[in-house]
Chain A
């Protein structure tokens, strides 16, 4: 029936005397509208192009180009659509007719909105109304019952219509914006180009590498800014993660006091603006430091007791023991107790008598811990840990003293040495050790690399062995050991005097020449600071910082500006509060049943943490962590408030000096966008590894 009715409708239509007339009229009118639109558009586009060409010399008007391209795309879409509709209409499809109407109205709207062409608008409007009226008048039988609204209710038409309408509005706004800005720039004679990047910058930057000077180009200045930003962001990400994870652990601590302090810390940091904190760190904290620079450790004779090395080895041993074997509970606490007891004892006297007493106590507690019911079960680990620590103390002391008696080392309990400061900071300086590679580095690196390759190969091999046989091989520890061993051997092989006939390249830029080292030494072509790396045997040279006489400039070492330090500290501390909360929430999100199940399976505390809690917590932690990393990278732009020359600040200086606000702005945005993209790409990759794989 239905098909019959529609066939009848079609037949009615075709039989209608006015049909061909109408069709011709319809096609012509909409074609006319289209051509009119093309014409108007074409004129506009040509005007636009001329406008652009008249305006500037070789302008890189990206926005304008895009606008023109869009202007061309819209008519093409319309034309394509028109063609489809005509075919539809020819085939007696009602939708085609409606679409033609919609196209007409769309064209009217778009043209009116974009070009404000009154004449065209009026003509097209009248045309549309005539079409509508004719349709109603001529084809009343076929379209009986249709309301005006129904002409707009073809889904395909509506979809395209809305999109075009939307784009038209955007284009209108864009056109308004671009033209107004362009006109203003034209008036001020600062058309946007990238030429300025190759002009002389003429301003110095506090925090710049050696190669930058006021004579460098704007582009170089901008690169310095980007490098500074990258430096802060990369360091900040690492430090904020470390501090944040620590904070997250504290927030979950069973110690109420620590938990509360961490909570207050987090709340204060999260609820006050970052800018305020940065200003505090820079102006109040850093610039108010005493003008005598603070050095860490304090610049004086520092005495390092050899027992600290004993502690260090004991601690590493304990941790490995706890990690590898089923250690008695509280063993670690026992070690700490032993440490505290020994330190308190040594505080008052470090005579042999005290050491022997401590050793005896240690032996007694070791014996007691391992003998049946003498010590309550819970405290056995504690006792044995403490005992072991004290016994290690005793043995260590005896061993060191014997070495001293045999004149192998200077003194049994102490080593002396003038400790150079590792960090110096004051209102004007912030210096850290510098790391330089000497000509021997290549050999060291090469051998170490071979070691790494071998270790990786063995790691894979052991992995296969484990898969096949199920043997419990600690392959990570073995591989790491191999790498360390090879590195130590490589260091000793590579550490040899640098030959005098080594050819060194001296000079900068075009004035380079290659001279033998002996000649350099004789003719003093390099000053002492630069020669340091040739006077040593080490492959890598770490130099502790030194200041000049007035303490205002860093002679040796990596010099960082106080504003850098303030920015880093501010960003790290602020972000760590958020990361701490994320870590806490992530760990708490793991259902307690998981932990209970792990215990029921007999997994140890560390195994539970490593294999059960962390993988599941990471699943929750990683996505918000990525957000925080993005925030940190974007917040680094607040450096401008504390006079640190980051991308934004240098970009702004360039904009102010050169007047190239558009391109300067585009550059700044591009840097931050690319940085965000890279961070989110990395985080997404990492995240996808940890997410639950479901079907």
Chain B
């Protein structure tokens, strides 16, 4: 030890304290590291990042500018109902509402049972949505004003190109009680030509012409300046022997253009804008009494008034100095006006009007409605018309001739579109989302109180019942169908009672025969239910007459399928296990009943109207989102058993069955969906005179079923092929019948394996339903096409497309997201589906 001390060098130093930990290098931590690694790890990456930023910037600014400034969202807010329900009867709207609420309730429960991991995110989004729906409209309304309406008054014609506009002296408008109206000269807006060209707000034709005049003039001047600059630069370059700027042809063209250029006179001076006093009066349209009047001379003069009651009013605006000579002089002066403008007592005045807004007129067989566009105030009734003075309908401020012109500012966008839209859907959506939360909460409660199995059974039976509820509520239900369902339920009870009495597996042949007879009788009865006519009943049963081909077909189905189902059902029982649910029996019965009901409904063989049956809606009126949902849901639901059958058929070892199934699948998959749709539209009416009455939408559903069955079959076949053959062999070794093997061993595993593919199929079908618009159905895309030909909404195709693309995007994205979640979690929950 001492040795060591002696050998110690002189400069020996021991630090008594731990050195302070140095911060990690700046490039290796936090945001900088992230940016370095993800955005700037190499030169190429930096360039890509810059390009990416440019893309994002361009698209976001472009899109938001268009959304706020250029788009006319009245096309969406005014047509919202059409987008959702099409022409579905207003009297039945409550059914759609109920369907939606029940579905959302069940979906809430489903979320609680199967995909709890997204519950938190969903809850937060729901809260945000509800808050914004409820809070934004009042805030926006309090802080922003609606845009002005600019109207021209005057005694001269306004000529641009071939069209001339004369200001209306009297024009009608609808007003709501307590509306405050302010009319004054538009002073700031005509301060100079640029201000006039950028006039934004609702404008009548005269004001619009003025805008255009100013705008065109400014454009012409700018164009001329550009040409002159180019030509000058070119000449300079030529003189210096440098690089020429223009080709020879361009040079000649531009010099010609400069020589020919004509710049119109400035409109503000030319039309003596706001130089003459204007007498403004507001009249009650019924009595023609003047409610308020004022003479505007200076920009500070204001006519303000609070409307006493709802109804029609007339705005009268004339020049205060109304000399008789002006009219006679008009023709002579117009030539003179070409060059130096109008006389001092002639001209145009531009009024800035607050509180009066354009409205749209809708006429139907029943009633006429006038809707004020920015706030949706409506006057409707069977006898409502625009005011009639001296036997002539007065022009009113309609939205077609008084569109919003100019670039919208953000305030106008919020006040005109966002706030009314949120108000329109606010309460409904809030209630809907709360229903979803209630469903979630109920399922949670069930889980806590009665266990997971009960909760998941609740959710899965609920989900399964959605299509039924959808059909019953949306389509309506005949007493006939009600009877069918009653028979069905009675049979189920009878089979259960018999089972309890005999304590035998499944059903005895006795019950089989009894069931068959009951079904036959039931079908026969309901087919002839109008009067329970015994002879007719008898004619149906022995298949002797030709006037009931469809019911006969049904009965054949019944004869074949019901005993078959029951026969197979006898087999389908594992000894020692309690019989719970005789699936084949139920499936067979419901198939017969469903097919029967559908045929009888479709062919109108039964028309019964009682108080307690739901009136059937006309399927021709389905449209918009409703039609899309009906097509998708029934396209999948009804196609599913068909798809299973086709998949099994294609894997069958019986060659005929196999090749027929394969042929069908490949034929459908090899042809475009549109041809299948067209096929259905074209050929179903050819089949029989009864079927030619079938509405378009049913034919489309038939096509969707035929189409998606083939694709579903391929998906299911993929799942079946993915199973190791040992599964089937083991089932055989255990002595299960082939039906039992399919039902208990292969199908559950195969279906679980193809859940993502099935969801993908559902999504693509959801998108593909848009094709029905090509065969003439008014679905979402079809409605956009129909909307843009209305005079009011010309040129709003992009708005419509954007809106419906959101309607397609959100459900598709959410579904694929959930499917990814299910796939990734691989939880046992999917087992129960």
A residues bordering B, Cβ < 8 Å? Answer: 113, 116, 118, 159, 162-163, 166-167, 170, 176-177, 180-181, 184-185, 253-258, 261, 267-268, 270-276, 279-280, 283-284, 300-301, 303, 330, 332-334, 336-337, 340, 382, 414, 416, 418, 634-638, 640-641, 648, 652, 655, 661, 665, 668-669, 672-673, 676-677
Q: Which of B801-829 contact A (CB under 8 A)?
A: 801, 804-805, 808-809, 812-813, 816
Quick one: closest A residue to B687, CB to CB? A180
Q: Are B39 and A256 in contact (CB under 8 A)?
A: yes
Q: Are A180 and B682 in contact (CB under 8 A)?
A: no
A301 to B230, CA, bound (A): 13
Q: Across the interface, which residues of B come within 8 angstroms of A283, CB to CB?
A: 797
A256 to B45, CA, bound (A): 9
B653 to chain A: closest CB distance in Å? Answer: 8
* Binary contact track B95-111/A, C-beta < 8 Å → 1, others 0: 00000000000000000
Q: Are B801 and A255 in contact (CB under 8 A)?
A: no
In the complex, identify which listed stretch (B126-134, B190-198, B664-672) lies at the interface while the others stay far away: B664-672
A652 to B775, CA, bound (A): 11
Q: Across the interface, which residues of A come within 8 angstroms of B245, CB to CB?
A: 301
| Residue in B37, B41, B678, B679 whose Cβ sees the most chain A Cβ within 10 Å | B678
* Chain A CB within 8 A of B44 CB: yes
B46 to chain A: closest CB distance in Å? Answer: 9
* Binary contact track B767-801/A, C-beta < 8 Å → 1, others 0: 11011011000000100110000000000011001
B683 to chain A: closest CB distance in Å? Answer: 6
Q: Across the interface, which residues of A come within 8 angstroms of B655, CB to CB?
A: 163
Q: Are A672 and B801 in contact (CB under 8 A)?
A: no
In the complex, identify which listed stretch (B51-59, B171-179, B385-393, B426-434) lies at the interface while the others stay far away: B51-59
* Chain A CB within 8 A of B498 CB: no
Q: Are B45 and A280 in contact (CB under 8 A)?
A: no
* Known pairs A181-B686, A184-B686, A272-B805 / 5 extra A-B pairs, C-beta < 8 Å: A118-B542, A176-B687, A279-B797, A334-B43, A669-B675
Q: Are B763 and A271 in contact (CB under 8 A)?
A: yes
Asked whether A672 and B671 contact (CB < 8 A) given A159-B654, A275-B781, A300-B250, the answer is yes
Asked whether A272 and B809 contact (CB < 8 A) given A163-B657, A418-B247, the answer is yes
The total of chain B residues at the interface (CB under 8 A) is: 68
Q: Across the interface, which residues of B come within 8 angstroms of A665, CB to CB?
A: 675, 678-679, 682
Q: Are B805 and A276 in contact (CB under 8 A)?
A: yes
Q: Are A648 and B804 in contact (CB under 8 A)?
A: no
Q: Are A256 and B808 in contact (CB under 8 A)?
A: no
Q: Are A640 and B774 in contact (CB under 8 A)?
A: yes
A364 to B666, CA, bound (A): 67
Q: Are A303 and B243 in contact (CB under 8 A)?
A: yes
Contact of A284 among B45, B51, B801 (CB under 8 A): B801
Asked whether A162 and B654 contact (CB < 8 A) given A272-B809, A301-B246, A634-B672, the answer is yes
A–B pairs, 21, beta carbons within 8 Å: A177-B683, A177-B687, A254-B41, A255-B41, A255-B45, A255-B48, A257-B48, A271-B767, A273-B805, A273-B808, A276-B804, A300-B246, A333-B44, A340-B43, A414-B243, A418-B247, A634-B670, A634-B671, A640-B674, A641-B773, A641-B774
Contact of B654 among A163, A268, A276, A668 (CB under 8 A): A163
* Chain A CB within 8 A of B298 CB: no
A380 to chain B: closest CB distance in Å? Answer: 15
Contact of B809 among A257, A271, A661 (CB under 8 A): A271
A297 to B781, CA, bound (A): 35
* Chain A CB within 8 A of B229 CB: no
A636 to B556, CA, bound (A): 42
* Binary contact track B535-554/A, C-beta < 8 Å → 1, others 0: 00000001110000000100
Quick one: closest B residue to A661, CB to CB? B682
Quick one: closest B residue to A121, CB to CB? B543
Q: Which of B229-250 contact A (CB under 8 A)?
A: 243-247, 250
A181 to B691, CA, bound (A): 12
Q: Are A648 and B770 in contact (CB under 8 A)?
A: no
B residues bordering A, Cβ < 8 Å? Answer: 37-39, 41-45, 47-49, 51-53, 55-56, 243-247, 250, 542-544, 552, 556, 654-657, 660, 667, 669-675, 678-679, 682-683, 685-688, 763, 767-768, 770-771, 773-774, 781, 784-785, 797-798, 801, 804-805, 808-809, 812-813, 816
A638 to B544, CA, bound (A): 47
A322 to chain B: closest CB distance in Å? Answer: 13
Q: Are A416 and B243 in contact (CB under 8 A)?
A: yes
Q: Are B49 and A280 in contact (CB under 8 A)?
A: no
| Residue in B43, B250, B797 whose Cβ sees the most chain A Cβ within 10 Å | B43
A275 to B744, CA, bound (A): 41
B27 to chain A: closest CB distance in Å? Answer: 13
Q: Across the interface, which residues of A come within 8 angstroms of B687, CB to CB?
A: 176-177, 180-181, 184
Contact of A118 among B38, B544, B784 (CB under 8 A): B544
A285 to B28, CA, bound (A): 46
A351 to B366, CA, bound (A): 80
Asked whether A333 and B43 contact (CB < 8 A) given A257-B48, A668-B675, the answer is yes
Asked whether A272 and B45 contact (CB < 8 A) given A166-B656, A257-B39, A672-B675, the answer is no
Quick one: closest B residue to A637, CB to CB? B672
Quick one: closest B residue to A177, CB to CB? B687
Q: Are A275 and B771 in contact (CB under 8 A)?
A: yes
Q: Across the interface, which residues of B come within 8 angstroms of A637, CB to CB?
A: 672, 674-675
Quick one: closest A residue to B655, CB to CB? A163
Q: Are B797 and A284 in contact (CB under 8 A)?
A: yes
Asked whether A271 and B544 contact (CB < 8 A) given A113-B556, A257-B48, A279-B801, the answer is no
Q: Are B813 and A256 in contact (CB under 8 A)?
A: no
A41 to B552, CA, bound (A): 21
Quick one: closest B residue to A256, CB to CB? B38
A30 to chain B: closest CB distance in Å? Answer: 23
Contact of B773 among A275, A301, A382 (CB under 8 A): A275
Q: Across the interface, which residues of A come within 8 angstroms of B672, CB to CB?
A: 634-638, 648, 672
A254 to B808, CA, bound (A): 31
Q: Are B674 and A648 in contact (CB under 8 A)?
A: yes
Quick one: closest B residue to A180, CB to CB? B687
Q: Are B781 and A276 in contact (CB under 8 A)?
A: yes
B55 to chain A: closest CB distance in Å? Answer: 6
Q: Are B49 and A271 in contact (CB under 8 A)?
A: no
Q: Across the interface, which residues of A come within 8 angstroms of B43, CB to CB?
A: 333-334, 336-337, 340, 382
Q: Across the interface, which residues of A come within 8 angstroms of B682, CB to CB?
A: 655, 661, 665
Q: Across the interface, which residues of B come within 8 angstroms of A414, CB to CB?
A: 243
Q: Are B804 and A300 in contact (CB under 8 A)?
A: no
A639 to chain B: closest CB distance in Å? Answer: 10
A167 to chain B: closest CB distance in Å? Answer: 6
Quick one: closest A residue to B249, CB to CB? A418
A331 to chain B: closest CB distance in Å? Answer: 11
A166 to B648, CA, bound (A): 14
Q: Are B808 and A271 in contact (CB under 8 A)?
A: yes
Contact of A255 among B49, B247, B675, B683 (CB under 8 A): B49
A102 to chain B: closest CB distance in Å? Answer: 15
Contact of B808 among A185, A261, A267, A276 (CB under 8 A): A276
Which 10 residue pairs across A and B have the least CB separation, nearest first?
Answer: A256-B38, A271-B812, A257-B52, A637-B672, A273-B767, A634-B672, A163-B656, A184-B686, A273-B770, A676-B670
Q: Are A170 and B804 in contact (CB under 8 A)?
A: no
Q: Across the interface, which residues of A come within 8 angstroms of B246, CB to CB?
A: 300-301
A300 to B767, CA, bound (A): 44
Q: Across the interface, which residues of B come within 8 angstroms of A337, CB to CB?
A: 43
Q: Across the interface, which residues of A come within 8 angstroms of B679, CB to CB?
A: 665
A118 to B250, CA, bound (A): 90
Q: Are B39 and A673 in contact (CB under 8 A)?
A: no
Q: Are B543 and A300 in contact (CB under 8 A)?
A: no
Contact of B39 among A118, A255, A268, A303 (CB under 8 A): A255
Q: Are B52 and A261 in contact (CB under 8 A)?
A: yes
Q: Across the interface, which residues of A come within 8 angstroms of B686, CB to CB?
A: 180-181, 184-185
Q: Across the interface, which residues of A come within 8 angstroms of B804, CB to CB?
A: 276
Q: Are B56 and A276 in contact (CB under 8 A)?
A: no
A28 to B804, CA, bound (A): 71
Q: Across the interface, which residues of A come within 8 angstroms of B656, CB to CB?
A: 163, 166-167
B469 to chain A: closest CB distance in Å? Answer: 26
